[in-house]
Structure formats: structure tokens, C-alpha cells
A = this chain, B = another copy of it.
Amino acid sequence: MTRVAAYQLSPRIGDLQYNLQLSTAAIRTSVDAGARVVVLPELVSSGYVFASRAEAASVAIDSDHPLFECWAAEASRADAIVIGGFCELGGDGLLYNSAAICDGAGVVAVYRKSHLWDREKLVFEPGAEPPTVIDTPLGRIGVLICYDLEFPELTRLLALAGADLIAVPANWPLVPRPAGEHPPEVVAAMAAARANRMFVACCDRLGDERGVRWTGGTALISELGFVVAATAEPAMAIADLDLARAREKRLGPHNHALEDRRPDLYRNTLHARELAPRG
């Protein structure tokens, strides 16, 4: 069993030092609670609702920034893995909405969000590379960021690459939903978990920022597609997950979640724009 925590919190827009302390404290609390995998929200270093690209640039960091040394120091106390979002200044001078995967020694990998939401398109470059799977001592972890999760191609891609767990730093703007329903982003995560028989750990935000209300939809989801821990508070969702169960893709004697696929029938899914009729 691997104890996984997703720590829902509220960074302050443009306040790198505050956010460093807030996120590091969240990792500390999670590790103290026994977590070996800790997921933090999207852009937890910087906040989200930037007024301009220049404002985002003012808090953009690269993967050598001391923030990650702080994260790694907490991770090292328990050989934990931390996944959290940050506003990245690329070596090319461009900004990316990224997530770092850290272990006790520092940043292991960086994923750049490939599907940008709303005004992010005015601030960030989309990532040029598909998400990959990081093989850690705790299991194989894939990372998606927020709106990425709404593209089942990406969750499938990570499952085919062997992911046991997908960590999803997110900032979900609140949308209306019927009483009793999960946030629709959680529904997407539940469906992806079940379709691929893998675990999904979504870490959302709380509160408001410049008129945007966040959903507070943090949820840990089993490989059967059910929510096993959630929180609507500034707190952890935490659970012991048997990540090895994600390696069993058989669904009884005659079925297999991945081998039952028919790639011969799916070719047209790669040629979207030509096919779709309009209006």
C-alpha cells in the first residue's frame, strides 16, 4: 500500500515567498501523516489569475529554484515523491504552466501542460511533448495538469505507457452542477481511472482569486473509478492505495482493459479537424 495525499490549498497570486512556505508546509504535514506521494495544485508557486504575461513572468522560476530544494527536503524525510504545479520560465525565455515531480534529491522531471485553458493561451506556451511516465520506487507516475485531464487521449496514453497513478495538479473554476453530483472534472477522472484501471489523484484549489471561484474538488480515485478520499476544505485528501492493482488490466477470463482496444478502428481519431462537419 502507498499512502497518497493531495493537499488542497490557496496560494496567493504573485507571492512566491508565501507560496513557497505554504506548499512546503503542506508537504511537511502530508509526510508527517505518512504520505509517500504528495500532490499539490496547479501553479501553486504563483497563483493563477494573472493580469498579464508580464505579471506571470515576474514570478516564473526554473527547476533550479530554491522552492524545489524546500520541497525535496521535505520529501527526503520519507523517500516521498512530490508533484506540484509551478509557473515555469523556460530556457527559451517562454512561460509554461508546468508541474515538477520531485523526490528527496530534487526535481526528477518537468511536464508542461499541453492543453491550455482560457486566458492561459495569452500567457503560456503549450507544452510540445506528450506526458510521460516516471518510474519511481513507489510506482509509475504520470502527470497531467487540469484541462489536460478532459482529453481521454492523454489518460489513455499514460495508461498505455504503464502509469499506475496519474497525479493531476488542477485549478478548477467552479461550474454549476446538480445537487449530489461530483464536479464534472472529477467525473472525467473517475471515467479515466475505470477505463484504464489506474489510480488518479486530483489536487484542486480552494477559495477565490480575482473573481474566479475554485471548485475545491480534490479527490483520490481508485482503479475501479470510485472516489476513495476527497475534501472540500483547506486540507488533505489522503488514502492508502494499492498501486500494484493498476498492473492488473484483466477484467475476467475474456477481457483486458487495454488489449480489448481496437486501434484498427480508431485511426480517424487522429484527424480531427478534417472530419468534423460544421454547424
Q: Which residues of A contact B (CB under 8 A)?
A: 114-122, 126, 129-130, 140, 147, 150-154, 156-157, 159-162, 177-178, 180-181, 184, 187-188, 190-192, 194-195, 224-227, 247, 252-255, 258-263, 265-273, 275-279
Contact = CB atoms under 8 A, between A and B. Distances in A.
B162 A266 contact: no
Contacts of A151: 195, 260-262
Given A153-B156, A156-B153, A114 B265 contact: yes
Nearest to A189: B191
A263 B270 contact: yes
Contact of A160 (B227, B276, B278): B276
Contacts of A227: 178
A133 to B, nearest CB: 9
Contacts of A276: 159-162, 258
Contacts of A266: 130, 153-154, 157, 269-270
A228 to B, nearest CB: 9
A271 to B, nearest CB: 7
A268 B188 contact: no
A254 B121 contact: yes
B153 A269 contact: yes
16 contacts: A117-B254, A120-B254, A147-B260, A152-B153, A152-B192, A153-B261, A153-B262, A154-B266, A160-B272, A162-B275, A181-B226, A187-B225, A190-B191, A259-B272, A261-B272, A263-B271
B184 A225 contact: yes
Nearest to A115: B260
Among all A-B residue pairs, the 8 with the closest Cβ atoms: A191-B191, A152-B152, A130-B265, A162-B277, A153-B266, A263-B270, A188-B191, A160-B275
A143 to B, nearest CB: 14
Contact of A156 (B117, B152, B177, B263): B152
Contact of A272 (B178, B258, B278): B258
A181 B152 CA distance: 21
A254 B119 contact: yes
